[in-house]
Amino acid sequence: MAEQNRYHVAVVGATGAVGQKMIETLEDRNLPIETLTLLSSKRSAGKTVRFQNKNITVQEATPESFEGVDIALFSAGGSISKQLAPEAVKRGAVVIDNTSAYRMDPDVPLVVPEVNEQDIEKHQGIIANPNCSTIQMVAALEPLRQAYGLSRIIVSTYQAVSGAGNEASDELRQQTEAYLKEEQYTPEVLPVKGDEHHYPIAFNALPQIDKFQENGYTFEEMKMINETKKIMHAAELPVAATCVRLPIFTSHAESVYIEIDQEDVTVEELQSKLAAAPGITLEDDPKHQVYPTPLHAEGKRDVFVGRIRKDLDQSNGFHLWIVSDNLLKGAAWNSVQIAESVMNHQWFTKN
């Protein structure tokens, strides 16, 4: 651990969509950073990134890159995490991993600080950051679960392309321009880079995020289902998800149906619980057309909730509309929050 509680932090995947936001968020939050090491693939190494009025040169990530690092934020894809996270841990770093590599590992805490910060303490070197669409949903639902219990979740998502990386954002931009000029274009990235077929995203909706599993659900849908249960410590909670990619650059939205364990709870009670919850901004005033939208949530760290209304048939059923910047609370900000928590509680690896 660094002296005087100033730390050596590394970002792996520093040139990616999430990595860039991690660096910005580390600066915005003014974390006590002695040294910031920026790491990437060989291809992106050599680029320069501005941090706290200094230029930092991005280096190729190797096992030796983690010598002396206290906290390493990984967001460079699952295979890089599988390969290098153990090397970082071996060298004494706490890894906060934004990929799906370790999320369902029973020895790895999967953390949204507003929900289960205390789980961080049990880490054995790696702490996993959940999937973007999961984070904003559990952050919004946990205050309701604590107050009223939760017996069911059904979610349909409206997800931004930046969740699939800078390449996907570039594809949306280029396709949109081509469409408007009535020019031909060939989809090459979405819905899933490396999958067999690619479909247009401009002015379209693709009901596939990540690859299909044997059960007909996509991996993204299974992440939402399994990660929610793990984060909430609610293995038996029924969760259903349909995940859809849309022509939106930033911020995921979610149409969520829940059933709570109590009858006779009012919309106003749910609103007041959410208004008081950490990390949540209530934007819910239909009379004045106040509700969250992706564009309005962009660049903000909170999770925004609106359109809260009681189901017309099910007395314990409610509908909500949950929106958050997928690169911030959905990725970079949640990872930095975990880093802050590790620093504040001195939950470093005991060597």
Site for its own copies in 274-303 (CB under 8 A): 286-289, 291-296
Binder of its own copies out of 41, 83, 176, 272 (CB under 8 A): 176
Let me know: does 320 contact 256? Beta carbons within 8 Å: yes
Check binding of 46 to its own copies (CB under 8 A): no
SS3 (DSSP) at 291: coil
Peptide bond into 200 cis (omega under 30): no
User: Pseudo-torsion of CA 100, 330, 219, 106, nearest 10°?
Assistant: 40
Nearer to its own copies, 278 or 286 (CB): 286
Which ranges of the chain would DSSP assign to H, the alpha helix? 17-28, 78-90, 113-116, 132-148, 166-180, 219-231, 267-275, 294-297, 333-345
User: Is 199 near its own copies (CB under 8 A)?
Assistant: yes
Q: By C-alpha distance, which of 32, 68, 21, 61 is closest to 44?
A: 61
Q: First-to-last CA distance in the chain?
A: 10
Coil, helix or strand at residue 181: coil
CB of 286 to its own copies, least distance (A): 4
Question: Could you confirm whether 243 is annotated as catalytic?
Answer: no
To the question of whether residue 13 is assigned a binding role by annotation, the answer is no
Helical pair 219-231 and 132-148, crossing angle rounded to 10 deg: 40
Concatenated DSSP letters of 301-328: -SEEEEEEEE-SS-TTEEEEEEEE-TTI
| Shorter beta-carbon distance to its own copies: residue 7 or 217 | 217
Does 296 qualify as catalytic in the annotation?
no
CB of 148 to its own copies, least distance (A): 19
Q: Is 330 in the site for its own copies (CB under 8 A)?
A: no
| Coil, helix or strand at residue 207 | coil
| Nearest distance from C-beta of residue 129 to its own copies, angstroms | 24
In this structure, what is the dihedral angle of CA atoms 34, 110, 60, 31, given to the nearest 10 degrees? -20
φ/ψ (deg, to 5) at 259: -120, 135
**Under rule CB under 8 A, residue 247 binds its own copies:** yes
Single out the catalytic residue among 252, 288, 296, 319. Answer: 252
Site for its own copies in 211-240 (CB under 8 A): 212, 215-217, 225, 238-240
State in angstroms the smallest separation of the CB of 337 from its own copies: 25
Range in contact with its own copies (rule: CB under 8 A) among 14-22, 63-71, 124-132, 317-325: 317-325
Tell me the binding residues for NADP(+).
Answer: 15-18, 43-44, 162-163, 326
Task: Detail the residues annotated as belonging to a binding site for phosphate.
Answer: 103
Residues found near its own copies in the complex (CB under 8 A): 152, 154, 156, 158, 173, 176-177, 180, 191, 195-197, 199-200, 203-208, 212, 215-217, 225, 238-240, 242, 244, 246-249, 253, 255, 257, 267, 286-289, 291-296, 306-314, 317, 319, 321
